[in-house]
Amino acid sequence: KKQIGGLKKLLSNLDGVYPTCNLVLFSELVDYDTADERCKSFDIGSGGDVKGNLATVNENGKNLDLQLLLEMAYPVSDGKWADNEWVWVGLRKTQNNSGKGKDARVYNSKDWEWADGSNPNDYKEWMRGQPDQKPDKVDGVKYLQNQMRINHDGKWDDTFAYKTHPYACDYQGKYILSATPHTWSDAKAACDDAGLIMAKVRNDAEVKEIQQASVYFLGEYDEATKIWDQGNWIWLGANDATTEGTWAWNDGTELDATWYANMPWREPNPDNSAKMNGGRTQNYLSISKWGEFDDSFDSPKRQRPFACQCPGT
């Protein structure tokens, strides 16, 4: 319960995008085909080598994640069958989907497939009486209920692709960003409370990944803002508070020497300046939306968005 409360606080100021370490929910209401295409392009963490896909909800933990995120996006739905009561996921019927005959309307897991190509096997949370495979006709075009959606209670329903709902994609990335401005210490505590760690950025690929994540979770860098606008910088989980010049992640491991020598610092950083902070120096790491690093103060004068990281990544 503490971690759920921590995650809710972490995500409270995000606009329309709600992530966990498994899934990301987008609150915009779109039809199934649009949701499918958008998830294919949501490839944070893959290095661009693997397309994304609509969410694979193949175990209870992911089903619970979706309930949490849907509640955050739409705390109150407009009714049992309202668009914002449901979220698109990646289960679709790929066999016996003509809608004709008794066998076509009886649920068989072998007829259904997740967007990542896997089979649902034994896990299912269908509403009573579903899937019912009822047909519909719109402007002379026949539609079958060959797509699946999940409601606030975690129950599944088959429905038509023309319906519009929020949608959830599988998340291949490691970073969860918060738009709520915090001091460095408060950011660390917020990550801990959500069962996460404060983010590590250890190579060029991870610089690129956190930049991509910042676009989705915090918004594009606005070049009209000042370079040192606090909203342009994201706290990370490293400091040199113990020994000046020896940077270590919060778990005590030092930054790789080769990486440290080649990190793209924002000039003249790291400068360890003591200005504006009562003589205390700049010992805490952050990264800009455009990928440069800064050493800064753990001070109320430096409240910034921050990045957490999924454990084990």
> pLDDT per residue over 96-124, tens digit each?
877 666 666 788 999 999 999 999 989 99
- Judged against a pLDDT cut of 60, whether residue 276 lies above it is answered with no
- What is the greatest pairwise CA distance in the chain? 79
The pTM (predicted TM-score) of the whole model is: 0.91
What is the pLDDT averaged over residues 293-301?
Answer: 92
Q: Tens digit of pLDDT for each residue in 17-67?
A: 999 999 999 999 999 999 999 999 999 988 777 899 999 999 999 999 999
Confidence grade of residue 142 (pLDDT, cut at 50, 70, 90): confident
Quote the pLDDT of residue 92: 96
Q: Residue 99: what pLDDT?
A: 62
> Rounded to whole angstroms, how far apart are CA atoms 188 and 249?
12
Confidence of residue 149 (pLDDT cuts 50, 70, 90): very high
**Helix, strand, coil percent values for the chain (each to nearest 5):** 25, 25, 50
| pLDDT at residue 117, as a whole number | 92
Residue 94 has pLDDT above 70, yes or no: yes
266: left (phi over 0), alpha (psi -120 to 50) or beta: beta
Split at pLDDT 50, 70, 90, the class of 245 is confident
d(CA 129, CA 135): 15
Percent of the chain with pLDDT over 70: 93
* pLDDT reading at 278 higher than 60: no
**181-194 per-position pLDDT tens digit:** 999 999 999 999 99
pLDDT of residue 280: 61
* Mean pLDDT value of segment 277-301: 86
Higher per-residue pLDDT: 197 or 242: 197
Amino acid found at 42: F
Residue (of 306, 289, 309) closest to 298 by Cα position: 306
Compute CA distances 95 → 65, 98, 107, whole Å.
28, 8, 11
DSSP 3-state assignment of 108?
coil
Average pLDDT over every residue of 124-141: 90
| Residue 103, pLDDT score | 65
